[in-house]
Amino acid sequence: MHVLQRFTKRYRTQLLHLWIEEVVGGLLRSLPGLTALVIRGWFYRRLFKMLGNSALFYPGVYISHSYGIRAGDSLAINSGATIDGRGGLTLGDHVMVGPNAVIVTSEHDHWQTAEPMMQVDHIMKPVAIGTDVWIGAQAVVSAGVSIGDGAVVAAGAVVTEDVAARAVVGGVPAKPIQTRN
């Protein structure tokens, strides 16, 4: 089956949502200034499954499949971050996502070898990020992981396994460095 046909069949109930997200989000993405922060917050409040108070989306943030994202109060997503909610993403209160960080909630089913990877569906793997969490600049949070309350993911880290509460992790793959008191 053609890639576009497969995508349309899989996401047929969300196609309008995805189109609005892509077109309007694309227009709003590059707007600078405080007014643009307010407008992006207003826009994503209507698209997210749930979005608490005081959400900041800095210029250049790319969000896809926002219908699968639940976020608490005081969310800040910095410039250039990429967030994919298709597999389900939960963000607690007071979460900071650094510049150019990536959070994915699905992955290609690369174990199916009978067909090219581009022709197989994604495996949905929800991500849960607790309260008072800081995801550093250029960090990657892989599909299917949980990050506990108060955790810090160092800049450039690649999180492939669950992160304990108050843990500071870094590296590729991310490993515990210390624990916050």
Residue among 143, 133, 137, 130 nearest 157 (CA): 137
Distance of CA 77 to the CA centre of its chain: 9
- Burial environment of residue 48 by CB neighbours within 10 A (0 to 12, 13 to 18, 19 or more): buried
- The one catalytic residue in 65, 108, 110, 122 is 108
Q: Decide the pairing of beta strands 106-108 and 122-124.
A: antiparallel
In single-letter form, the type of residue at position 63 comes to: I
Under a CB-based contact definition with an 8 Å cutoff, are residues 17 and 47 in contact? yes
- Residue 94 catalytic? no
* Residues that are catalytic: 108
